[in-house]
A = this chain, B = another copy of it.
Amino acid sequence: MPYYIGDVIKDPNSLIARTPEKFEETGIRVELGTCVEGIETDKGEVLLAGGRRLPYDMLVVGTGAKATLPDIPGTTQDGVFTLKNLRDGINIKEYIRGNMCRRAVIVGAGFIAMEMSEALRNLGLETSVVYRGELPVKKWDPVFSGMVLEEIANNGVSFIAHNSPVAVEKGSDARLSLVTDKEIIETDIIIFALGVRPDASLALGAGLATGESGAIRVDSSQRTSREEIFAVGDCCESYHRVSKKWVNIPLGDIANKQGRVAGRNIAGYPMIFPGIVGAQSFKVFGLEVAMTGLDEKEAQESGYSPAGRIIWGNPVARSMSGGQKLGLKLIADKGSGKLLGAQAVGQSGAVSRINILSACLWSGMRLDEIGYMDFAYSPPFGGAWDVIHTAAQILEKEL
């Protein structure tokens, strides 16, 4: 009988919408609020808090990721949050409402930080993003990061660069203060959005192998180093089809696919997870921001000889674009002409381009092919030459 033990340490509510009873109807037993303390692989048993044991023939580890909290004093105070799951989101909203918060500080400037800044502005809070670096979303080209910075600034978010938090203290005129190496920032709520790390502690305790990324090592069937134990989602690695490396990219769509693959393999319908190309996106206020594949640095580290170029185009035919601009950066290998990665930013049309280019990466297409690909051209949806064509042709000439 399939048996699900909720990931209770971090998130008793991730299944909020579906009660255990709903699952039982389908023959799956669900136990929430139950902490797994160990896996005893020699006995084939899971050790639960309180000493209870649960035998298994096949086991799936889906322990996810942990939000990073900096090692500074004061982070356990009321009003300090990380954002990893639905419960965190509910807690943050309740805290803001219950304490009539007026000012918020987000520490970190990745895409979760950007999304949070929009959500907090929409709730009417004065919002600051505190970051140790110069520009937000540093995975993107500085030109694009600059556009993201402009977008949040235009929407009233203040970006405090070059500041590293050193402590959280009680505030004087607000509830809290974030002390950085440069300033003291008074605020009612602090959200640490410093990224996540794979939670492989249970797996490590059971002797399962982890990879360089710190996440659980799996094969293309989602099997760990033990044949009867599978791992899926943010806690495990994925094969990156462009870098040819096993990486940990904690994203919901990847987790969904891996879960399906593990399930099929366990149920006796063998299936391979074909890997990822690193496609991701976020929306911040009026901007679409997306990327896929590798950036120049990752490409270099993967043995390629990359060249990159930003091209500006229009999301739809120029005559209909109302002045909207779309920035597209392509990265390709000088030797083979193969596309290695792409980044795009614009008010619209960025994600749709990155998805097309993800399909191109998937099958290893070269720039010369991409420059003449056939799209569903119509002026409301693009130009006769799409920005993808132009970007591929120009970069190809420069290789």
Give residues in A with beta carbon < 8 Å to B. 251-257, 261, 273-283, 288, 290-292, 351-352, 354-356, 358-360, 362-363, 365, 369, 372-378, 380-382, 384-385
The distance in angstroms between the C-alpha atoms of A275 and B252, with both chains bound, is: 36
- Interface-central residue, A251, A278, A291, A362, by most chain B CB under 10 Å: A362
**Are A384 and B274 neighbours in the complex by a CB distance under 8 Å?**
no
- Interface-central residue, A254, A256, A288, A375, by most chain B CB under 10 Å: A375
**Are B358 and A376 neighbours in the complex by a CB distance under 8 Å?**
yes
The distance in angstroms between the C-alpha atoms of A292 and B378, with both chains bound, is: 13
Per DSSP, are chain A's interface residues mostly helix, strand or loop, or mixed? Answer: mixed
**Are B378 and A280 neighbours in the complex by a CB distance under 8 Å?**
yes
Which residue on chain B has the smallest CB distance to residue A320?
Answer: B283
Known A-B contacts A363-B363, A385-B253; the reply to A372 vs B283 at CB < 8 A is: no
Which residues of the other chain, B, contact A354 by a CB distance below 8 angstroms? Answer: 376
**Are A351 and B373 neighbours in the complex by a CB distance under 8 Å?**
no
**Are B384 and A252 neighbours in the complex by a CB distance under 8 Å?**
yes
Which residues of the other chain, B, contact A253 by a CB distance below 8 angstroms? Answer: 374-375, 377, 384-385
Q: Which of B281, B288, B359 contacts A377 (CB 8 A)?
A: B281
The distance in angstroms between the C-alpha atoms of A290 and B374, with both chains bound, is: 13
Known A-B contacts A281-B378, A378-B282, A380-B283; the reply to A373 vs B359 at CB < 8 A is: yes
Known A-B contacts A252-B384, A359-B356, A359-B360; the reply to A374 vs B283 at CB < 8 A is: no
Nearest-Cβ distance from residue A227 to partner chain B, whole angstroms: 23
Nearest-Cβ distance from residue A2 to partner chain B, whole angstroms: 21
Nearest-Cβ distance from residue A137 to partner chain B, whole angstroms: 13
**Are A372 and B281 neighbours in the complex by a CB distance under 8 Å?**
no
The distance in angstroms between the C-alpha atoms of A253 and B256, with both chains bound, is: 37
Which residue on chain B has the smallest CB distance to residue A261?
Answer: B372
Nearest-Cβ distance from residue A214 to partner chain B, whole angstroms: 21
**Are B274 and A376 neighbours in the complex by a CB distance under 8 Å?**
no
**Are A355 and B358 neighbours in the complex by a CB distance under 8 Å?**
no
7 contacts between A and B (CB under 8 A): A253-B375, A256-B385, A275-B374, A281-B381, A283-B378, A354-B376, A355-B376
The distance in angstroms between the C-alpha atoms of A358 and B378, with both chains bound, is: 15
**Are B283 and A375 neighbours in the complex by a CB distance under 8 Å?**
no
The distance in angstroms between the C-alpha atoms of A358 and B291, with both chains bound, is: 20
The distance in angstroms between the C-alpha atoms of A331 and B351, with both chains bound, is: 25
Q: Which of B274, B276, B352 contacts A369 (CB 8 A)?
A: B274
Which residues of the other chain, B, contact A276 by a CB distance below 8 angstroms? Answer: 374
Nearest-Cβ distance from residue A320 to partner chain B, whole angstroms: 10
